Amino acid sequence: MKRLVCHRYGPPKDLVLENAPWPEPGPGQVSVRVGATGLGFVDGLLIAGKYQIQPPLPYVPGSEFAGTVEALGAGVEGLAVGDAVYGLGQGTLAEGALAPASQVYALPGGLSLAQGASLPINSFTALYGLEDCIRLAPGERMLVLGGGGGVGTAAIAVAKALGAWIVAGASSPAKAQAARAAGADAVVNPHLDSFREDLKAALGGEALTVVYDPVGGSFSEAAFRSLSPGGRHGVVGFASGTIPKLPLNLALLKRSSVVGVDWGGAMRADPTLNPRLAARLRVLLESGALTAPPVDARPLEAVVSALEDQLAGAIAGKLVITQAPEGA
């Protein structure tokens, strides 16, 4: 089987396409024939060696997938060879990968493999962040920064399903379109000096009570200052590369809170979290309340340019690499 290998940290063009034996699942593991791999901002940083964690070399990038179960390790129950699944595994930028059975879930009905591969990280983070941490209530008005990116479009889709009214921050027509496709009711450009005025106009006099922030930088304080009493600013990530500092008097003056959203830490602390989130996601998707967020699906042959675009912040929606045409 083919797989992309990172032998040294650097630009995506340094990845090497190699052949390798099919992975054999150990106890509690599943091997999956990967049909699609979800990639995010973090994957580009990991390959470059610029993330807070540096995987030991060589390694195969990718940690989310959709595909079919190829083989079951000892003790695995509830899954069968040939099942259509999605989930979290290791080295998923390959035709085959291993995953712990506890992180492999039946693909919800009606979803393509590309849509399934887009779900684990971003939609689990959105559900955990919005329901468990921020406690989003129906009817609330929410700003999603990076609303045209992978994390942002997933948050918009989930917030829509939970009954929120959403304004997305997006810097280009393509990202604005992705945000609207995910369910945004309005779009503003946070890069403009008029950001706060534009946000106010988009809200039409209604109170902003939630910010979902995977971007950081100078946008964060501007967004926090726009909150109404009872507001919650969800800290999700720092795609801008700058961790903002917030004067604490703002929390007092705005009667608002900063809420940390660390899905990765939460899932490591609680092994029941992801199975619960997957079950919740299935209910929302299959009831029609939740629409899968938009994907930018590219073939495995185009992975280098896709990762370059990801690092440049130029992907609209969620980047997904497809190993084989749907249905092949």
**Residues in contact with ligand NAP by the rule CB under 6 A:** 40-42, 121, 125, 146, 148-152, 170-171, 175, 214-215, 236-241, 261-264, 310, 313, 315
C-alpha 30: how far from chain center: 23
Residue 175 or 298 having the CB closest to ligand NAP:
175
- Which CB sits closer to ligand NAP, 28 or 265? 265
Q: What's the DSSP call for residue 6?
A: B
Identity of the residue, 111 or 156, whose beta carbon is nearer to ligand NAP in the bound complex: 156
Instruction: Indicate the residue among 72 and 117 with the shorter CB distance to ligand NAP.
Output: 117
Q: Express the helix, strand and coil content of the chain in percent, nearest 5 each.
A: 35, 25, 40
**Closest distance of CB 168 from ligand NAP, Å:** 8
Q: How far is the CB of 206 from ligand NAP (least distance, A)?
A: 23
* Residue in the shown chain whose Cβ atom is closest to ligand NAP: 149
Q: What is the Cα–Cα distance from 95 to 43, expressed in whole angstroms?
A: 18
* Joined tokens for residue 221: 């304080």
User: Is 96 or 190 the residue whose CB approaches ligand NAP more closely?
Assistant: 190
CA torsion through residues 233, 216, 49, 297, sign: positive
Cα atoms in the 13 Å half-sphere on the side-chain side of 97? 33
* H or E element in which residue 155 lies: helix 150-161
